[in-house]
Structure formats: structure tokens, C-alpha cells
Amino acid sequence: LGTEMHQQIVSAYQVVVIPRKQPDLKRASQLFADNCTSCHGIDGSGNGPAAIDMEPAPTNFRESERYQQRTLFGLHSTITRGVNDTAMPAFKQFSDDERWSLAFYVGGLAAPAKDLTTDIHTLKSPLLNISQFTTITPEQAEELYGRGGSDLVAYLRHHPEVFFNNRSSLTFAHEKLADVITAYASNDTKAAYAYAVEAYLEGFELVEQNINAFDKPLKLEIEVAMTGLRNKIRNGESLQVIKDDIAFINEKLAIADELMDSNSLSGEAAFASAFFILLREGLEALLIVAALAAFLVRTKRRDGLRYIHLGWISALASGLLTWWVSLSLISISGASREITEGVAAIVATLVLLYVGFWMHDKTSAAKWKKFIDDSMHKALTSGTLWTLTGLSFIAVYREAFETILFYQALWAQTNEAGKTMAMSGFGSAVAVLSIVGWLIMRYSVRLPLRQFFAVTGGLMFVLAIIFAGKGIAALQGAGLIISSPVSFFRIDLLGIYPNLQGLLVQLGLIILAIILWNKKSTGH
């Protein structure tokens, strides 16, 4: 009962109870030797030279009885926060990865050595779900799963690599889909839906571009099926329907797993994945930044370019910082990433509409004359320039963090030769984006100023529609907005997806643009 309640609390409050990367036991051994032996002793028996007359005495990590009652999450929490009114400090100077490594290391000192390598991958134990493994004691494992449960805990504390192979993203998706069935069978629809979202965002999505490099139709089939599963959970379909859907998804994930059976992408696939990840994620941002820069150059306000550069450089730095924070300090879930991207895309849509309307407004004869008479220097106030800074920041930041995560997943899937090809793909994408930016700057500034405003304003409208579609899709991915599939074509590059909500928003923006165009044409 206690174990079940603990798991429910962890699920309900979304407590992060797992390491984000494979614990490094060698590194942990060195950290222990440098920082812990004075109290806990060289072998962890609690008999270090500083332990004399210490009250309470330092923990003896070799004591079997205490070992049976400790969870790895509990050890990690103690290392992170310390223990009040004792000599045990909080090791804030260690990264979260190092604290998890120490937790696995000291948590395994009293674990009897077990050799389960011959059958570990055939086991179906719930303990192979890392979030359950880190929150269960050896004693509880034996109560729930017999002697084999405690033996498995002992083995896994010495071999955390079992949880962190190159295909762990798909393994994680399988695990969360199993959790969906368990929760749905218990009539916990909310938890089942959350697990389904997690299976997609924290499992499948991180390797979808790798799968896409092998078999694009398979990638789309899995994506549609996982979205459909969430809708069926929301609609309260029968348990058998949910089980059938999950069986289908697991079958497709297994096929994807087989495609990556070598645990590495070919050089060509690594190149293609790296190329299209950056091209897909960076193109809209580049179009916005380049168009804004061309606008300032064309209106003879080159002094305002520093506002644009401040925006996109800050966005790249913020993306890198967010990634570092997610690895070192806090856990940023897939849902949080999607919400951030979705909200940023919607905000960008609104700003793009504002800038687009402003430029469009300047193309009418009367407004054009007034614009010239007032002079560009007065028209481009500091407030307007800071708006351009904000737009360039949002356009770049919304993609920066997720792009880094996609490359991180890609890197784990490639061998050394593949890594070289992936870097070549990255460089090629940078080259293509640079050429696109150069072409925009070179040819757009040659247009007559009024025509330039019309073309750039139109581009802003188009980008607003793209961002709106992608923003809605991201919020649907996070489970905040329902997704109603419709029979319609899909164009990722244009933010067009076959779901009713996104298409209606985009249609509304198109109608709004037509109304404004007609008002301008009739002189209103």
C-alpha cells in the first residue's frame, strides 16, 4: 500500500525521480573518495577519521538492513539537500547528474553482486521502468516481486546502463504506454492521458527525425496513432479499444526499433537528419530576422540593426542556457518544451500580424505620403525597435532549445563516422540558411520602398499563419488543446496539419487578411 501511495504522489505532483542521463559510477567513486570518506570511510562503512564522537554517526552504506529500506531517489534527495542538525551537508556544488551517480554508487555498496546479464533483456518486470526502480526499496521489491525482485534491484544498482542504451527513447515510450493501460484500467483517465502525452513527448518525439530518415511514412503513422490514442482516452473509449491502439503503436515502434537495430544511423541518414532538423527549425526564424534586417536597411535605419542582432543573439544564448539548466539544475519536461514553443509561436503570430499590418498600412497612397512626410526616423521610435528585438528573440528562441535536444538525440544514435556526417549536415544547413538570408538582403532592398513594404508585409502575414499552425500543434502535443483529425493534406514546413483546430485558426487569419486587404483597396 505504501509503495502504491508513493507512486500516486509522484505521478500526481509530477515529481522528477529519475536521472536524465546514465549515472557514471566511476566518476561517483572518485567523488566519494574526495568528499565522503572522511566521514563514511573508504569503503562506506561509516568509520572515517572524522566520524569519531560524531552524533549521530555517519551512515554505514554497507549495512544490509539499512540498504533494504533505502530508495535511490531518497539517497539523491539526501545528497542534494543534506540532513538538518547533522554533519551531512547539501552537495549543491555537484551537478544533478553527479548527485544521481553518487546515489547509485552508495545505494549499491551493500547490494549483493548478481549476474543477470543472460536474461536481463527478457525480463518484463515493472522494475525495468526507471521511475519505479528509483522509488522502490529492495525490501519492497522482494515483497512485490519475490526474490527475483530484490536480485534485480541489486543488479540494476550496479548496472544503470540498462536504462540508458541508445534506443532508450523508444523503450521509454513502450513503458509509458504500458502505464496508460494500467491507469485506464483503474479508471484514472487523467493519469492515462498524461502517460500518453509523455510517451510521445519524452519518448517518440526525441527520435522521430531519426526514424524519418529511415521511413517517413512509418514516422507519420506512429505520430497519427499516438495522437489518436489521446483522443480516444479523452473520449472515454472502452479499455479494449485503448489496448488495441497501444498494441498497434507498440508494433510500429518495434518496427522503428528494428530499423535502428545497429544502434547507429548510417552516414547518409545522419547527414540528412542533421540537415533537415536545422533547416526545418531555423527557416521561419531566419525569414523573420532577415526580413526585419532588410526593412531597417531599406528605410535607412541601419542603426536599428543592433536591436535585431540583440534579439537573435540573446535567443541563441537563452536556448543554450535553457538546455544547460535542463541538464544540470531542473528537469524540463517534454510538455514544458511544447508549451514554451506553442506560447512563443502564438505570441510571434500576434507580433507578426502587428508588424505586417503596420507595413501593409504604409502601402496606401495617403498613408504612404504621411509616412514620408513624418520621416522614417520619427516613425521608427525606440518602442518600435524594441518590438523588432522582441520578435527576433521569440522567432529564434522558440526553436533553439528543442533543436539542441533533437541534435542531442541524433548524436546518441550515430557512430563516429556518422557524427562526422551529422556535423557535415549541420554545416550544410547553416550554409543554405546563410544563402537564403543573403538572397533576402540582396534582392529585397532593391525593390522600390513602397513595393518593399507590400512584399515584406505579405511575408509577415504568411509567417503569422505558419506560426499559428505550429503553435496550435505544439499546444496539442502538450495536451492543452484537443486535436480533431480531419481529412486534409499535411505540410510541416508551412505549419499545415490535418487537424480541425489548427486549420480553423489559420483560416480565420486568412479571412482577416482578406478583409484588411479589401478595406485598403476601397480606401477605408
Give pLDDT tens digits for 390-442: 878 877 887 776 677 667 656 655 666 677 888 888 899 889 988 988 887 77
Q: Alpha-carbon distance 190 to 183, whole Å?
A: 8
Q: Are residues 147 and 181 in the same domain?
A: no
Cell of 484: 480533431
The label of the residue with cell 537563452 reads: 318
Sign of the Cα pseudo-torsion (400, 405, 409, 414, in order): positive
User: How far apart are alpha carbons 328 and 157 in whole angstroms?
Assistant: 22
More confident residue, 117 or 299: 299
Closest CA to 197 of 167, 234, 227, 239: 227
511 with 386: CB under 8 angstroms? no
Q: Write the CB contacts of 423 (distance below 8 Å, at least 6 apart in sequence).
A: 274
Indicate whether 200 pLDDT > 80. Answer: yes
Residue 248 has pLDDT above 80, yes or no: yes
CB-based contact 211:258 (threshold 8 Å) = no
Question: 460 or 447: whose pLDDT is higher?
Answer: 460
- Which of 259, 293, 328 is the last residue in one of the domains? 259
Q: Are residues 184 and 90 in the same domain?
A: no
Share of the chain above pLDDT 70, in %: 75
What pLDDT shows up at residue 395? 74
pLDDT tens-digit series, residues 15-63 = 455 787 788 899 999 999 999 999 999 999 989 888 888 888 889 999 9
Please list, in sequence order, all residues whose beta carbon lies within 8 angstroms of the beta carbon of residue 522, skipping any fewer than 6 positions away: none
CATH number for the domain spanning 110: value is 1.10.760.10
Number of domains in the chain: 3
- Listed residues 106, 137, 163: the one ending a domain: 163
The pLDDT value recorded for residue 107 is: 92
Contact predicate 198/130, CB 8 Å: no
Last residue of a domain, one of 129, 163, 197: 163
- Same domain? For 198 and 308 the reply is no
Which residue, chain included where needed, has cell 555498496?
109
Average pLDDT (324-339) is 57
Which DSSP letter does residue 205 get?
G
pLDDT at 262 over 80: no
CA–CA separation, 134 and 121 (whole Å): 19
Q: Which of 19-33, 176-190, 391-405, 480-494 has the lowest mean pLDDT?
A: 391-405
Same domain assignment for residues 498 and 385: yes
How much is the pLDDT for 323? 67
C-alpha cell recorded at residue 320? 543554450
Element containing residue 523 per DSSP (H, E): none
According to DSSP H, which parts of 208-333 are helical? 208-214, 216-234, 239-259, 267-298, 305-328
Task: Find out whether 229 and 243 touch, Cβ atoms under 8 Å.
Answer: no
CA distance 520 to 524: 6
Amino acid identity, position 474: A
Q: Per mean pLDDT, which range of 90-104, 220-234, 336-350 is the poorest? A: 336-350
State whether residue 92 is helix, strand or coil. Answer: coil
Looking at residue 332, its pLDDT comes to: 52
More confident: 128 or 117? 128
Stretch 445-473: mean pLDDT, rounded? 76
**Most confident option among 61-70, 166-175, 336-345, 391-400:** 61-70
Give the residue with greater pLDDT, 136 vs 268: 136
3-class SS at 97?
Answer: helix
Task: State the Cα–Cα distance between residues 342 and 474, nearest whole angstrom.
Answer: 5
Same domain, 237 and 282: no
Q: Which of 165, 153, 60, 146 is nearest to 104 (CA)?
A: 153
Asked if residue 238 and residue 177 are part of one domain, the reply reads: yes
Q: Does residue 461 sit in the same domain as residue 421?
A: yes
Cα-to-chain-centroid distance, residue 485: 24
Q: Which domain holds residue 466?
A: 267-521
Residues 305 and 432 in one domain: yes
CATH number at residue 303: 1.20.1250
- Residues 205-215 pLDDT 10s: 877 766 776 77
Whether residue 101 is found in the same domain as residue 186: no
- Residue 351: what pLDDT? 72
Q: What does the pLDDT average to over 190-197? A: 91
The residue written with cell numbers 540582396 in the block is 442
- The string of DSSP codes covering 20-84 is SS---HHHHHHHHHHHTHHHH-TTSSS--GGGTT-SSPPP-TT-HHHHHT--HHHHHHHHHH--T
All cell numbers assigned to 108 = 549499491
- Do 152 and 194 share a structural domain? no
- Name which of 19-33, 140-154, 186-200, 364-378 the model is least confident about: 364-378
**All residues at 6 or more sequence positions from 60 whose CB lies less than 8 Å from its CB, including other chains:** 40, 44, 45, 46, 47, 66
In this structure, the answer to whether residues 155 and 176 fall within a common structural domain is: no
Q: With bands split at pLDDT 50, 70 and 90, how would you rate the model's confidence at 261?
A: low
Burial of residue 84 (CB within 10 Å: 0-12, 13-18, 19+) is exposed
pLDDT of residue 431: 92
Residues 123 and 179 in one domain: no
